[in-house]
Structure 1
Amino acid sequence: MYQMIRLIQNENMKIYKRVGTWIMIGVIILIVLIGGMVSKFLLSQDTSDNWQQQLQLENAQLAEQISEFENMPMVGSNATRPLREQVVINEYRLENNIPPVESETVWGFMISSPDFTAIASVFVIVIAAGIVATEFSTGTIKLLLIRPVKRYKILLSKYIATFLFALLMLVTILVSSFVVGGLLFGFSGMDFPYLVYQGGEVMERNMLLHIFTLYGFNSADMIMMVTFAFMISTVFRSSSLAIGLSLFLLFTGQQLVMLLSQYDWVKYILFANTNLNQYISGVPIVEGMTMAFSLTVLLVYFVCFHAISWVIFHKRDVTA
């Protein structure tokens, strides 16, 4: 155990001694700040005094959309379900005098902040792509392997260090969004609940717990693509290939799945399951998909990526 901790510490030192790593962290904070300023000064709409009228208008518009969908023979009931649920939630707000969490509040800004994880994913992929490949390109992998340490521990320590960096990026987004949101929009409304339609009724949930859930769901894509980049880096010993291929799939995977959504087998593709938000704020890509199914598929891919990495790294000859 002590040996493993030392290995992880060593990998962390390699990551954080680079100036580029701190630039990445600074860029994330800057992006959150810019996002807050855009929301405050360019997109701000004061609806605090007439939110009841806004919700009534929204319900009328939703009713029209539901009616239009129902008149379309090819549209199933799943297409109108989120709209109906939103109408019920809006009616609950009006009946109980619970204003919506707009973007002009600290909670509203923090709810939108998980979208920044896509940018953080790019930075973590860069770290994952180079943490193994760089050892081979510089020849330092020989210095690691001559130690009395099993190869799987070396590889595992590198992945854990990468995972810890990903966690740091998520915490940075969370904390900076709270600070920026509080400074720009104030800390009023901290007691507002999050409303969710479940089991045929509207339920009140803790807002902070909901935000943590959003971060968890948005992190699925990051974890899988970082693990993929780590595998490519280990197998091909090329950070450029790992970065390029991972970023390409990160930004095109969802579009590819949408193009193939008419086929039932598409649900087994990795990118059909990385968007876990589809189970709480939308409709699954393939009818019948569930949260448990997606988590199982992600787990299978996760194990396969690591198995390939471990087998290749364990058998690779680096004596030359």
Structure 2
Amino acid sequence: MRNLYQLTRNETLKVLRKKRFLVVMLILAVLIPLFAYGQYHDQQKIKAQTGVTDWRAELGKEITETERRLANPTLDEARRTQLTLRIEQNKYYLDRDINPSEPGATTFARIFMQFGISLFLPLLVIVVATDIVSSEHQDGTIKLLLTRPVKRWRILMSKYLTLLIFTTLTVLAMGVLSYLISGIFFGYKGWDAPMLTGFSIVNGTLDAENVRVIPHWHLLLMNYGLGWIAAIAVASLSFMVSVLVRGTATGMGVMLAVLIGGSIMVELATDFPLTKYVFTTHLNLAGYINGAPPAVDGLTLGYSLVVLAIWTAASLAVSFASFTKRDVLA
């Protein structure tokens, strides 16, 4: 255990020296203010144009506008179902006098994770993960690393533990920075606001049988907890690629192709049987607790968690088998 701790500490210092995590922090520090200001500007513009300041009237107007869009005969069936579900959810909120978009930094932080969990967060994880092993080959330090009297699996385990640390820090940074920065525009409020969770989609219709009211902070933690799980799955897959591919740029290219290609597949081939086994199909875990339709009909949170767990376990199995048995010194 002492050797593993020391190895992990050394790997952590390596990541910090490479400044890849600093790049992630800079990306968040630049983009979050832009997103927050953009949302604030849009809200102020809509209020100025409509004169609507009460959230009930605003939500009612959104329902009316969505119903008008449903009248479009050229609307495809998937989009029609999505809009119908949104109307039903909004009416459910109105009937119970609960604002689904309670103004405040808490709402922005939750929505930021909700929309970033499938692509933005995985991209940040890939920045840190893809070179954690491959850079040893690229920098020519792999031989020096493996001449130590330490078993290979311990070396690789220390790298994976380091990756888990920085993946966790990335998720935490995403939450903390989104709250602190957006609070400048929206105010630091909304922690105890009532929110609804438990919506599910059954055969294309909204099922509110298991809906319950929880405080906003609880829903926020649930979103970021599920975001962390999705990030760990992406990190593990990136870790495997970093072991198998000896070039950092190549590894990053592979992961970007897998992530973007998988996302396109989810959008265009929802009826293809293999789509429900692709890991990108299950990254939007937050959608299940926020009432969003699943990427493929019939998927549940439990099923998605199992699929991501299998992908994670398989990635680790391949990583350790390859690193401990192949001739990495060649």
Relative to structure 1, the CA distance from residue 10 to residue 132 in structure 2 (aligned partners, 3 Å threshold; closer, same or farther) is same
* 8 Å CA contact retained: 1:29, 1:173: no
* 8 Å CA contact retained: 1:261, 1:286: yes
**1:164-195 deviation per Cα after TM superposition (whole angstroms, max 9, x unaligned):** 11111111121111211222222344431212
Q: How far has the Cα of 1:120 moved from its partner?
A: 4.4
**Structure 2 Cα separation of the partners of residues 189 and 128 of structure 1:** 34
Matched, 1:283 2:282: no
Matched, 1:305 2:312: no
Relative to structure 1, the CA distance from residue 31 to residue 60 in structure 2 (aligned partners, 3 Å threshold; closer, same or farther) is closer
**1:108-130 deviation per Cα after TM superposition (whole angstroms, max 9, x unaligned):** 21122214554443343132211
Which of 245, 254, 268 is matched with 1:245 structurally? Answer: 254
* 8 Å CA contact retained: 1:66, 1:83: no
Who is 1:315 aligned against?
325
**1:183-235 deviation per Cα after TM superposition (whole angstroms, max 9, x unaligned):** 22223444312123555275221211211222233344433332222111211
Who is 1:28 aligned against?
28
* 8 Å CA contact retained: 1:220, 1:275: no
Amino acid at match of 1:121: P
Relative to structure 1, the CA distance from residue 227 to residue 275 in structure 2 (aligned partners, 3 Å threshold; closer, same or farther) is same
Secondary structure at the counterpart of residue 204 of structure 1: strand
* 8 Å CA contact retained: 1:116, 1:173: no
Amino acid at match of 1:108: T
Matched, 1:154 2:163: no
Moved more, 280-289 or 152-161: 280-289
Who is 1:257 aligned against?
266
* 8 Å CA contact retained: 1:151, 1:314: yes
Identity, % of aligned positions: 27
TM-score normalized by the length of structure 1? 0.85
Structure 1 gaps of 5+ residues are none
Amino acid at match of 2:131: G
**Structure 2 Cα separation of the partners of residues 157 and 151 of structure 1:** 10
**Structure 2 Cα separation of the partners of residues 286 and 57 of structure 1:** 30
Q: How far has the Cα of 1:311 moved from its partner?
A: 0.8
Secondary structure at the counterpart of residue 17 of structure 1: helix
**Structure 2 Cα separation of the partners of residues 309 and 188 of structure 1:** 44
**1:150-170 deviation per Cα after TM superposition (whole angstroms, max 9, x unaligned):** 211111111111121111111
TM-score normalized by the length of structure 2? 0.83
Who is 1:205 aligned against?
214
* 8 Å CA contact retained: 1:126, 1:243: yes
Matched, 1:215 2:233: no
Q: How far has the Cα of 1:309 moved from its partner?
A: 0.8
Who is 1:50 aligned against?
54
* 8 Å CA contact retained: 1:225, 1:246: no
**Structure 1 Cα separation of the partners of residues 280 and 121 of structure 2:** 18
Moved more, 178-187 or 238-247: 178-187
* 8 Å CA contact retained: 1:113, 1:177: yes
**Structure 1 Cα separation of the partners of residues 87 and 52 of structure 2:** 23
Matched, 1:229 2:230: no
Relative to structure 1, the CA distance from residue 40 to residue 207 in structure 2 (aligned partners, 3 Å threshold; closer, same or farther) is same
Relative to structure 1, the CA distance from residue 140 to residue 197 in structure 2 (aligned partners, 3 Å threshold; closer, same or farther) is closer
**Structure 2 Cα separation of the partners of residues 233 and 23 of structure 1:** 19
Secondary structure at the counterpart of residue 130 of structure 1: coil
